[in-house]
Amino acid sequence: MTLALRDLGKDRESSLADGYLYRFGQFALDSRKRTVSRADSPVSLTPKAFDVLLFLVQNPNRLVTKEELLQAVWGDAFVEEGNLTQYISHLRKALGDNSEETRLIVTISRKGYQFTADVTVAEVADTAIQAAVQVSTAESSLADTQPALRSPADEAVPKAPKNWRKAAFVGASAVLLVVVCFASWRHFSGMSPPKSQKIMLAVLPFENLTGDPNKEYLADGLTEETISQLGRLNPEELGVIARTSVMGYKHKDERLDQIGRDLSVQYVLENSLRESGNHIRLTAQLIQVKDQTQLWSQNYDYPVKDILNIEDNVAKAVAHEIRVRLTSKQQAELAQSHPVNPEAFDAYLQGYYFFERNTNKDTEMAAKYYERATQLDPSYSLAWVGLSRVRNWQANTGVIPAREGRRLAREAVERALALNPNLAEAHAQMGRIKRQVDFDWAGADASIQRAIALEPGDSDIVRQAAYSAALLGRFEEALPWARQAIDLDPLNADSWECLAETEFFMGQLDKAAADGKKGLELSPDAWPGPILLSQIYVMRGRPQDALSEIELVLYPSIRAFLYPIAYQALGRKKESDAVLGEYIAKYHATGAYQIAEVYAFRNQPDEAFEWLDRAYAQRDGGLTGTKVDPLLKSLHGDPRYAAFLKKLNLPT
């Protein structure tokens, strides 16, 4: 008698050994005799491996969580997730499950597994059993062949004072993070990628298993810090996918092989964070995408009371884990102690969390947390960079007076550089200020180049390098940087828009339109998005399509600036005059550069230069594009254009 799985009822769920024969593909699994065969040939499995397979076969074509599988096979006994991963790897090898297209056991990132085969079930008593070898009932198993992972957490400890538990928890996370990053590097150090090809790694978002949703900011912050630390180890050989591209997988049940295809990576690092009483545990495992095998797994578990005293132990652990491909200078830097005030680190992570949300209200919250971080630890250079970025953003968007915001931004980043002259983020931020505020192009370029030299694997800094080169007309440098930003952050709309803008400046309009659309597919709110497409359509002789894009622009002031250009291209000069007059009346104090662009497009050079001079007096940020802006092309033959570039300190 053959049955469907849904007909087995709840009685089957009460025991793994249910007395049924399960068939999937060429395989037969006898749950009563505990045998597995493939086309009449026996398949040898350890007892626990058999139990894992049996539970998966009993629950096909659905996500089986790690917790569910551990409970079903081991009950209440404590078993490391790494051991489960080893059993899955053993099963794949035993079943010959090595084809990505027809994989039987699929890893669902950070969640668990899915058995993808169609399974039929028959009662053993009514079915001739195929020949099979009895699975060994010896006590040995994969777990028995490995030493148990022990840590100070295995010992009872006194309860920590409540008022510093949070600080210790955060401090522990920061310290253990260093161990995870460099322990994982040990496994990459022996891998030799093909010539001209990097090893590519994705650090998936930390899974917050503390039970406290308020610690999401901590999980997100640790994700960013792990990416940053691994990214700087050896950027010539190890590329690490940037935060924006991996955060899309947070709270998402995605197959590991699909993640590998999406991000073009060979390896994935999964991480989780737990808290139990006075202990914290950070779990990390390195997985090879092509066969979903676990290469390395480790738990870092400490009692809270010891967290602030383990820096020496961490330094020793890092020294032990580091192997090859690190210069003596890098090893010396790693040997240095970099203590961080735990409460300041907590405030910094909160600031980072709110700044990434990109609203006026959240940005003000970010400023408060960054300020708190600098107050708690005045030597915390990265917090000073965060505060500088917030103040600069607030100045550019009018949240605070521009002069005040730019002064505060400059003071904060200068403080960061004084504290740490080798902080890449600080040099990148100084580059922004020198370009946007000082019109010091050479200084801005030098700052960006210094940042790149320090952090060549940081996608945000790579995009800054692309913009810096493009705005100076060095397109032969800008294009490779823009493409590298996509390699490092392929699912970030900003990366594609950066490439599209570079191509737009170069006059490669078809490529710019295609890449701009890719950015919009990833994020409908991508910048410049429809702003860029509307200008491309005007220049390609499709002004009606430009009008459709203008309607999608989110910002009223920019929509108002684009309409007179589109109407002029359509030959509707009176309408162009009317909307331009309205724009000047409303935005003359903040949109001088945009007014100059419209007049230049309309081939009115005298008016264009008049408004360029006004933009200079206003320190209009739009002037950063003066040298390469296609809308100003009609001015290039005018002697006043070369004079104006010189006034801006731009090379002619």
Q: pLDDT per residue over 600-649, tens digit each?
A: 999 999 999 999 999 999 888 889 999 999 999 999 999 999 999 999 98
Torsion of CA 260, 176, 215, 80, to 10 degrees: 70
Strands 199-203 and 267-276: parallel
Q: Is residue 150 part of a domain?
A: no
176 and 321 share one domain? yes
Output the DSSP codes for 490-528.
TT-HHHHHHHHHHHHHHT-HHHHHHHHHHHHHH-TT-SS
pLDDT reported for residue 573: 95
Whether residue 387 is contained in a domain is answered as: yes
Boundary (domain end) residue, out of 455, 477, 503: 455
Residue 304 lies in a domain: yes
Shared domain for 322 and 347, answered yes or no, is no
- Rounded Cα distance between 315 and 313, Å, is 5
In a domain, 89, yes or no: yes
pLDDT digits (tens, 9 = 90+) for 132-167: 333 433 333 333 333 333 333 333 333 334 444 555
DSSP 238: E
**pTM of whole model > 0.85?**
no
- In one-letter notation, the amino acid at residue 211 is G
User: Is the domain of 344 the same as that of 397?
Assistant: yes
| pLDDT tens digit sequence for 251-310 | 777 888 889 888 988 888 888 878 776 676 777 778 888 888 777 777 767 654 443 333
Same domain, 287 and 375: no
For position 140, which CATH number holds?
1.10.10.10
Task: Give phi and psi for 472, each to the nearest 5.
Answer: -95, 5
Q: Which residue has the tokens 């890098």?
A: 330
Do 179 and 139 sit in the same domain of this protein?
no
Please indicate, yes or no, if residue 113 is contained in any of the structural domains.
yes
Structure confidence at residue 620 (pLDDT): 85
Total of domains in the chain: 3
* Residue 549 resides in a domain: no
25: alpha, beta or left? (left if phi > 0; alpha if psi -120 to 50): left
Residue after which a domain boundary falls, among 276, 304, 330: 330
At residue 532's C-alpha, the angle toward residues 426 and 394, to 5°, is 35
The answer to whether residues 326 and 224 belong to one domain is yes
pLDDT at 526: 83
Predicted local confidence at residue 327, as pLDDT: 59
Judged on CB neighbours under 10 Å (0-12, 13-18, 19+), 15 is: exposed
Domain span at 208 = 163-330
Q: How do residues 214-246 score in pLDDT, each as one tens digit?
A: 778 878 887 887 788 777 767 777 788 988 889
| Highest mean pLDDT, choosing among 9-13, 55-59, 524-528 | 55-59
Q: How far apart are the first and last CA of the chain?
A: 86
Of 404, 436, 455, which closes a domain?
455
One domain for residues 316 and 356: no
